């Protein structure tokens, strides 16, 4: 099974900060990776597919990059509504696996 190691597990940031989250795959997964945002008590929402393509309606301050084993999600200027948890999900092979998540908190 492919393991997804996500870091950091949590971070504290302020509105306007640039935030970067990393996911590392235990083996190459091409760019078969998506990013999701989850707010407390809610279902996750899609952000990015194919590692770097933004889904329709997602603000352009979100961006993704990477291929193979290293992937990043960047929020260029953190907004109040971005305080949430973020997860990567690989769909290169079964079983699909999520990263452990990153909680973005208010500094």
Partner 1 sequence: DVQLVETGGGLIQPGGSLRLSCAASGFTVINNYMCWVRQAPGKGLEWVSIIYRGGTTYYADSVKGRFTITRDHSSNTLYLQMDSLRAEDTAVYFCARVSLDYVDDPTYYYYTLDVWGQGATVSVSS
For binding to partner 1 (CB under 8 A), which residues are involved? 1, 31-32, 34, 36, 38, 43-46, 49-50, 53, 55, 85, 87, 89, 91, 94-101
Q: How far is the CB of 52 from partner 1 (least distance, A)?
A: 9
Both tokens of 62, joined, read 């979100």
Buried b (16+ CB within 10 A) or exposed e, 16-25: eeebebbbbb
**Pairing verdict, β 97-98 and 85-90:** antiparallel
The least CB distance from residue 4 to partner 1, in Å, is: 10
Q: How far is the CB of 14 from partner 1 (least distance, A)?
A: 25
Closest separation in Å from C-beta 51 to partner 1: 9
- Measured from the CB atom, the residue of 66 and 99 that comes closer to partner 1 is 99
Q: Select 63 or 97, whichever has its Cβ closest to partner 1.
A: 97
Q: Which residues contact 29 (CB under 8 A, 6 or more apart)?
A: 2, 68, 69, 90, 92, 93
Pick between residue 78 and residue 89 the one whose CB is nearest to partner 1: 89
């Amino acid at each position: 099974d492919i393991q997804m190691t996500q870091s950091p597990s949590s971070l504290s940031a302020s509105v306007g900060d640039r935030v970067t989250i990393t996911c590392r795959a235990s083996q190459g997964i091409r760019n078969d990776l998506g990013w999701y945002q989850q707010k407390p008590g809610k279902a996750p929402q899609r952000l990015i597919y194919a590692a770097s393509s933004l889904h329709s309606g997602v603000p352009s301050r979100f961006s993704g990059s990477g291929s193979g084993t290293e992937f990043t999600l960047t929020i260029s200027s953190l907004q109040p509504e971005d305080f949430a948890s973020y997860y990567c999900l690989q769909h290169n092979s079964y079983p699909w696996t999520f990263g452990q998540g990153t909680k973005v908190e208010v500094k």
